[in-house]
Amino acid sequence: MRRLLLLLLILVAIAAGLVVLGGQGIGPVVITREDEQKILLLLGSPRDQPTQPGVSLRIPLLEDVRTFDRRWLHLSSEPKEIQTQDRERIVVDNYVIWRIEDPLLFYKSFPTGVAEAEAQIDREVRANVREVIGQRTLPQVLRDARVEIMDEITGKSDEELERVGIRINDVRINRTELPSGTVENVYARMRAERNRLARKNRAEGEQEARTIRVSAEREARVIVAEARSDAEAQRGVGEAEALRIYADSYSADPEFYTFLRSLEAYEKTLGKDTTMVLSPNSEFFRVFERGARSGAATE
């Protein structure tokens, strides 16, 4: 019984030792964590499949282990000067989110390790950034098509680096700015463009104002002409009515009507301090003569 327990203890100790050695990359046991990818090299030649998370076995001394990160990695690039489609020079820097998708293909493509892979990623992404931005204007790069540009760069880079076992998840532009020597020239062109637009808008506004004034004046003339026409019509109606009233009055009592009209004529003609030289037999004093004869007859 004691021998059996001792044997079990020895086996447990050996297993524990193998696990510890496997975690350090030593011994026949290979421990692969969730965030790792490992390949086994038999005399320098990799196996067909990488190890899965957990415990794997290898042949000590004959098989070597290469460990690669399974997580998404970050790579920043140095700022670079690029010319846009409208011949504006801008300084652009970007970063890349990437990971090792196929560790076997990655190892075959980059036997010296991650530094060589990062150099390749930077070259490919830099070339795509230059190509895509070179096909866009400055306003598109800065504002109008920024997301579309980054998506296109990501797609191109992922397609090109897939053949070496790398997956590109995202390429993002950190900043986009003008070189110091061209800032004033760009501002000068912007000012000239704004002045051109201002002159254009002022000319269009003046033309619109002239059109409105001409239309208003034409409408005013029409309104005044219609008002005058209405006034003449109303005046004609009024005069006709007045003539009718005069005619009715004259028909009712011609003598009284003549007397009343004469008084109105006197009132309009004879004012204060008015001097008139007329013949005594003038028709103008006919009413007075009639009044004098009527008074003598009464006496």
Q: Where are the alpha helices (DSSP H) in 83-182?
A: 103-109, 114-134, 138-139, 146-161
Cβ count within 10 A of residue 99: 17
3-state secondary structure of 289: helix
**How confident is the model at residue 271, as a pLDDT?**
65
What is the pLDDT confidence band of residue 128, given thresholds at 50, 70 and 90?
Answer: very high
For 122-132, what is the mean pLDDT? Answer: 93
CA distances from 113 to 33, 41, 67, 86 (A): 19, 15, 10, 40
Distance between CA atoms of residues 176 and 174, nearest Å: 7
pLDDT digits (tens, 9 = 90+) for 237-264: 888 888 788 777 767 767 666 777 777 7
Complete domains list, the chain, with CATH: 14-69 (no CATH), 73-178 (3.30.479.30), 253-298 (no CATH)
What is the C-alpha to C-alpha distance for residues 49 and 38, in angstroms, rounded to an integer?
A: 9
pLDDT at residue 36 in the model: 82
CA-nearest of 109, 92, 86 to 39 is 109
Each residue of 3-35: pLDDT tens digit? 656 565 565 455 445 444 444 455 566 777 877
Q: Cα separation of 78 and 73, whole Å?
A: 17
Residue that is written with structure tokens 């692969």 in the block:
32
Rounded to an integer, what distance in angstroms lies between the CA atom of residue 278 and that of residue 283?
Answer: 10
d(CA 289, CA 295) in angstroms, rounded, equals 10
